[in-house]
Amino acid sequence: MTEQHWDIEVDWLVAGAGAAGMTGAVVAHQLGGSVLVVEKEAVYGGTTAKSGGVAWIPGNHRQGEVGISDSAEEGYAYLKALVGDSVTDARLRAYADNARQMLRFMMAHSHVDFCAIPNYMDYYESLPGYKSGGRSMDNAPFDMRRLGAAAAQLRIGHYDGLMMPFNVNIAEGQSLQKMNLGAYWTGIKLVLRYLLDLPARLRRQRDNRLCLGPALVARLRRSLLDRDIPLWLNAPVQELLTDDHGVCGALVLRDGVAQRVRARRGVLLGTGGFSHNADMRQQYQQHPIGADWTAAAPGATGDAVTLGERVGAALDFMHCAWWSPSYRLPDGRVMALIAGKSNPGSIMVNGLGKRFTNEAQPYEDFVKAQYAAHARGERAIPCYLLFDARYRRRYAVGHIKPGKVEADSSLAADIFDSGLLTRADSLQEMAQKLHMPADTLAATVTQFNEHAARGEDPEFGRGVSEHDRYYADPRVTPNPSLAPLLEAPFYALRCEPGDLDTKGGLSCDEHGRVLDAAAHPVRGLYAAGNASAAVMGDNYPGAGATIGSAMTFAYLAARHAFDDTGNGRE
């Protein structure tokens, strides 16, 4: 075979600068490898930077601090009961056994710092191995100034500047949501901290205290900087290069100049899913579908699928996504609606003016129910979050802060003009504006109100589970997720079946090795995060399952590639 010419040689080439890619880079470097990270966008962070930054880690070492007992075996039991045989036992066990090891490794060898959230429960309490908290973990805030010049290329977060000028972590967000004295005290402390950062305020900078996904990205980026691991931006992988032993490197287009990069130990693809690839979504996923309803980063265009298929990789779970109801702002930004659908004084209705599912259930299940209702001819795409004036005063809905109905004029006009939010002085007027039967909508609300006043939902069981009650209002009894819709004016927020990113991708084994159609490893090629077929299959076990699995399989991939037993490429 003709000797290849290389422009640069490293041990480990990582494509994608999100949680998966940067974790894999840190681990490989700690194990003694030379590492290069390439990112096709002009900013780093990927979809991780647009997320809540939560990681789902069963049996983690910080659960004891919040009084929760857990184990890897219990985590496996829960995953197995949820996922079944759609994913191999070896892959499920690899996640359950190694997620906690990954966490210890990263907290010891990088700036990653997670704490257990005591009351953030798994999503399915009827399953064996379920835990009512502690597996979903929040990462600590991070001062953006510690990034130095690299702060300029950090992707802006999902809610950055939309609701308030300062950032909040999970615990602070939970406190603010309660709208009690503790919430006001939390708000006062956050405002004071923000205002007293005088250098930033004088320069009119954004909040330098990063939280959620941007904080995790910043911690990982700082870890790369500390280790002098180079990160190339504007550097998409054009082609995987192979030799007689398998994948040996990649052709990378750096600022428009082709670079042939040799990767002696292997290539890790952490390039995200294919949410923004309209053709792939039309080919693989349930209709109606497109690239307009996703909250994923713009770079999630299926690069790993395209690159992997060219070297014989198999695909799996291409019909799946990390579904969440979403809404599209007039400026084009897409927001995932996670919490607002659970608060009392609201329902979701389809185009026929009827409820079609439990609004407060896990967001992935909600979208699956939305698609099922639409397939039955119930005009559920789009659907509408319908709420009354009391809700408007008390609760945020998506990025819209609570406010008096008299202050609606303070909302941007295009939020109403675009049809994203509709206001009406009566249910009949609302039905007319949304082109649905007025009698049906009125009957739906009347029936719901009758039961909600007693804290009951005999039709869909809303508010029964711990998950339903988590995002609700504990001040409302007997069911914190249920209250009648009584007070005009009424509002309706248009919602589509969106996602946080797709789940389908390259089929992988328990080491993160990419597999071919015969389930044999494609030597030298690894994948993690949404570039790989999800270890969760068509399921969502709890908050942070995306990031937890992304980081864990990036960790396992690097460990395998640098295994002294010779299991890697060389």
Backbone φ, ψ for residue 242 (5° rounding): -130, 160
What pLDDT is recorded for position 495?
Answer: 97
List beta partners, residue 14.
37, 268
What pLDDT is recorded for position 565?
Answer: 42
The more confidently predicted of residues 137 and 332 is 137
List beta partners, residue 325.
497
CA dihedral 351, 356, 357, 360 (to 10 degrees): 40
Confidence of residue 436 (pLDDT cuts 50, 70, 90): very high
Backbone φ, ψ for residue 231 (5° rounding): -125, 115
Q: Domains of the chain: which residue ranges?
A: 325-499
- Least confident range of 96-110, 147-161, 536-550: 147-161
Confidence of residue 3 (pLDDT cuts 50, 70, 90): low
What pLDDT is recorded for position 176?
Answer: 72
Confidence of residue 346 (pLDDT cuts 50, 70, 90): very high
Residue 1 scores a pLDDT above 70:
no
381-429, pLDDT tens digit by residue? 999 999 999 999 999 898 888 888 887 877 888 899 999 999 999 999 9
354-380, pLDDT tens digit by residue? 999 999 999 999 999 999 999 999 999
Which CATH entry fits the domain spanning 325-499: 3.40.250.10, 3.40.50.11260, 3.40.50.720, 3.90.700.10?
Answer: 3.90.700.10
What pLDDT is recorded for position 399?
Answer: 85
What pLDDT is recorded for position 206?
Answer: 77
Confidence of residue 257 (pLDDT cuts 50, 70, 90): very high
CB-based contact 385:341 (threshold 8 Å): yes
Region 431-449: mean pLDDT is: 98
What pLDDT is recorded for position 163?
Answer: 61
What pLDDT is recorded for position 382?
Answer: 97
116-145, pLDDT tens digit by residue? 999 999 999 999 999 999 999 999 999 999
490-537, pLDDT tens digit by residue? 999 999 999 999 999 999 999 999 999 999 999 999 999 999 999 999
Residue 2 scores a pLDDT above 60:
no
Residue 567 scores a pLDDT above 50:
no
How many beta carbons lie within 10 A of that of residue 1, not counting itself? 5
CA separation, residue 392 to residues 346, 366, 377, 398 (Å) = 10, 22, 31, 12
What pLDDT is recorded for position 407?
Answer: 76
97-113, pLDDT tens digit by residue? 999 999 999 999 999 99
Residue 468 scores a pLDDT above 70:
yes
Residue 566 scores a pLDDT above 50:
no
Percent with pLDDT over 70 in the chain: 96
19-36, pLDDT tens digit by residue? 999 999 999 999 999 999
CA separation, residue 111 to residues 22, 168, 499 (Å) = 12, 19, 29
**Taking Cα atoms as reference points, which of 315, 294, 296 lies closest to residue 304?**
315
Region 432-454: mean pLDDT is: 98
What pLDDT is recorded for position 166?
Answer: 74
The DSSP element (H or E) to which 315 belongs, if any, is strand 315-316
266-310, pLDDT tens digit by residue? 999 999 999 999 999 999 999 999 889 999 999 999 999 999 999
Alpha carbons within 13 A on the beta-carbon side of 120 = 25
- Whole-angstrom distance between the N-terminal and C-terminal Cα of the chain? 17
Percent with pLDDT over 90 in the chain: 83
Q: Is the previous residue joined to 230 through a cis bond, with omega within 30 degrees of 0?
A: no
